[in-house]
Amino acid sequence: MIDLLLRGGTVHDGLGSPGVTADVAVGGGRVVAVGRDLGPARRVLDVTGLYVTPGFVDAHAHSDLVPLMPRPQPFKLFQGVTTEINGNCGYSYAPDATRLEELTGERVPDWTFAEYLAAIEAAGPVNHVATLVGHSTLRGAVAGFRPELRPGELERMRELAAEAFEAGACGLSSGLIYPPGSWADTDELVELARVAHAFGVPYTTHMRDEGSALGRALDEAIEIARRARVRLQVSHCKVAGRRNHGGAGMLLGKLRRAREEGVDVRGDQYPYTAGSTVLAALLPPSALAGGGVRDLLASPAGRARLRAEAGKGGTGAGLWQDTTPEGVLITAHASDSPDGRIVGATLAELAGDGDPWETLCDLVALDPAAQMVIEMMAEEDVVAIMADPLIGIGSDNGPPTGLEHPRTWGCFPRFLGEYVRERGVVGWPEAIRKMTSATADQFGLRGRGWLGPGAYADICVLDPATVGHAGTYAAPDAQPTGIVHVLLEGHVVVESGQFTGERRGRVLRP
Ligand SMILES: [Zn+2]
């Protein structure tokens, strides 16, 4: 007998086919049939008028430690997301992330990659998770915050990467604007990407530059993929910095040419014109060399040197030139007072009549792990990138607490409500493909990201008329609208918009 029948919805297969009115039968955690008159079921959910889609796959998540939070966190399930790819931007929390604490602000045990995955498994995620091993983490584990590698250290990084892939890492990530990853040259990344290739997993990259040197950064990412023969995922595709706006066509052209030349490249994107990262990313990455950022910022000469570097723009300059003090919103700061004078204010507001650069240096010196939301993109570029079939959706979320970027709570429903229903940037079948099979295929998640007989019954049921997210930068944590039911391997974990409280997610190993 069928465990569960979803009756009367419009079924999207996640492969880009038009939706069809049909019932979906679920049994033993899998989809067993799609059609009409599928027979009796233990349970029936009437989903007439709703869309039945594969559960969404978040290509770019930072939920690495979320399953360890004391209470289950359904913020991704509420978006229809059933699988997250964690460990992005060069940072995973294993192997041995203890030396990155100053930048991440997170204190974690000295885990091996296998121990990290076991800890996540034991805690029980509420949605499925797969995890990349981070290049910055590997580098930190062998060389800390020392820019140059000593003989044997690259080989040690390769061994640690191989251990991580054996334990189940779903790829290699890099974050080349953040130390210590920013100190790697192209050859170092090729050597590590070759290990990923040997295990059949992709290389994802937060590139060395997303602004004035975006073209060169894309060339480097493509060169790494070509030389290592590895699948490439360009993370959070964007054109940053007002002077560079209008560059989406260049970005997409390079991706397309690379494909024509045999490099298997795709990208992901979040549907917003603002990003979010550590406040220290406004400074040149050299500020964090040797781990002595506080000492450096304590000296007027140090501040002046950084300012000169930042003013040059381009690779190695940090993000200072890509935004304005008005466009920087402080979202987390350890030294904030109980009345919240810092968090929720812009850098321009905090500087007042003073010099915003000095205010920035003061804030980073007080808390090098402080976070910001940063305005740096143009809507026309966001839309052009979104319309391209090579681009999937990834939230780039932070932890679901405090004043985070609204993408943490609303990325997927916002894409569907704002850009698909209201503006028609892409049609529904294509939008759903971008959020499902496009990403599941890239990360080797077999049986997920599509809906048909034999697929895992990770399913989202949504109302196309109401799906959306009302969260704002000032009040980001609203629950999305229109995500009605969510299933994980046949278990209903969100029913009529309510989370059941169960931790039904798995740790996925490709
Ligand atoms: Zn990133």
From CA 362, how far away is CA 347, in angstroms rounded? Answer: 11
Q: Average pLDDT in the 136-159 region?
A: 96
pLDDT at 290 over 80: no
pLDDT at 180 over 80: yes
Please tell me the predicted confidence (pLDDT) of residue 287: 87
pLDDT at 68 over 90: yes
Q: Ligand 1 centroid vs 205 CA: distance in angstroms?
A: 8
Element (H, E) at 460: strand 459-462
Please tell me the predicted confidence (pLDDT) of residue 422: 98
pLDDT at 291 over 80: no
**pLDDT band (50, 70, 90) for residue 305:** very high
* Torsion angle defined by CA atoms of residues 95, 65, 102 and 404, in that order, rounded to the nearest 10 degrees: 150
Q: Ligand 1 centroid vs 425 CA: distance in angstroms?
A: 24
Residue 111: CA count within 13 A, CB half-sphere? 21
Q: Ligand 1 centroid vs 271 CA: distance in angstroms?
A: 14
Please tell me the predicted confidence (pLDDT) of residue 286: 85
Q: Does residue 148 come out as left (phi exceeding 0), alpha (psi in the -120 to 50 range) or beta?
A: beta
Please tell me the predicted confidence (pLDDT) of residue 107: 83
Q: Ligand 1 centroid vs 217 CA: distance in angstroms?
A: 14
Please tell me the predicted confidence (pLDDT) of residue 400: 95
From CA 36, how far away is CA 22, in angstroms rounded? Answer: 6
Q: Ligand 1 centroid vs 206 CA: distance in angstroms?
A: 5
pLDDT at 206 over 90: yes
Please tell me the predicted confidence (pLDDT) of residue 337: 76
Residue 183 CB partners (closer than 8 Å, separation 6+): 139, 147, 148, 285, 289
Tens of pLDDT, residues 246-269 = 999 999 999 999 999 999 999 999
From CA 353, how far away is CA 229, in angstroms rounded? Answer: 53
Mean pLDDT lowest among 145-154, 159-168, 309-318: 309-318
Please tell me the predicted confidence (pLDDT) of residue 67: 97
pLDDT at 142 over 90: yes
Please tell me the predicted confidence (pLDDT) of residue 289: 74
Ranges of H-type helices in 148-234: 153-167, 186-198, 214-228
Q: Ligand 1 centroid vs 175 CA: distance in angstroms?
A: 6
Q: Ligand 1 centroid vs 236 CA: distance in angstroms?
A: 7
Q: Average pLDDT in the 159-173 region?
A: 98
pLDDT at 338 over 80: no
Please tell me the predicted confidence (pLDDT) of residue 335: 84
Please tell me the predicted confidence (pLDDT) of residue 408: 97
Kindly calculate the radius of gyration of the chain based on its CA atoms and give it in whole angstroms.
Answer: 22
Q: Ligand 1 centroid vs 270 CA: distance in angstroms?
A: 11
pLDDT at 497 over 80: yes
Q: Ligand 1 centroid vs 337 CA: distance in angstroms?
A: 29
Please tell me the predicted confidence (pLDDT) of residue 83: 98
* The three-state (H, E, C) secondary structure of 239-304, written as one string: CCCHHHCCCHHHHHHHHHHHHHCCCCEEEEECCCCEEEEEHHHHCCHHHHHHHCHHHHHHCHHHHH
pLDDT at 104 over 90: no
**Cβ contact 90:134 at 8 Å:** yes
**Cβ contact 419:425 at 8 Å:** yes
The phi, psi pair for 27, rounded to 5°, reads: -155, 140
Share of the chain above pLDDT 90, in %: 88
Q: Average pLDDT in the 14-26 region?
A: 98
Q: Ligand 1 centroid vs 490 CA: distance in angstroms?
A: 33
- As a whole number, the mean pLDDT across the chain is 95
Secondary structure percentages of the chain, helix, strand, coil, to 5: 35, 20, 45
**pLDDT band (50, 70, 90) for residue 356:** very high
Tens of pLDDT, residues 238-248 = 999 988 999 99
3-state secondary structure of 196: helix
Q: Ligand 1 centroid vs 237 CA: distance in angstroms?
A: 10
Q: Ligand 1 centroid vs 71 CA: distance in angstroms?
A: 26
Please tell me the predicted confidence (pLDDT) of residue 326: 96
Q: Average pLDDT in the 266-285 region?
A: 94
Tens of pLDDT, residues 211-245 = 999 999 999 999 999 999 999 999 999 999 988 99
Residue 106 CB partners (closer than 8 Å, separation 6+): 65, 93, 97
pTM: 0.94
Cα of first residue to Cα of last residue in the chain, in angstroms, is: 31
Q: Average pLDDT in the 323-344 region?
A: 89
Q: Ligand 1 centroid vs 172 CA: distance in angstroms?
A: 13
pLDDT at 293 over 90: no
**pLDDT band (50, 70, 90) for residue 106:** confident
Tens of pLDDT, residues 393-435 = 999 999 999 899 999 999 999 999 999 999 999 999 999 999 9
Please tell me the predicted confidence (pLDDT) of residue 372: 95
Q: Ligand 1 centroid vs 88 CA: distance in angstroms?
A: 7
Alpha-carbon torsion 50, 51, 55, 57, what sign? negative
**pLDDT band (50, 70, 90) for residue 450:** very high
Please tell me the predicted confidence (pLDDT) of residue 230: 98
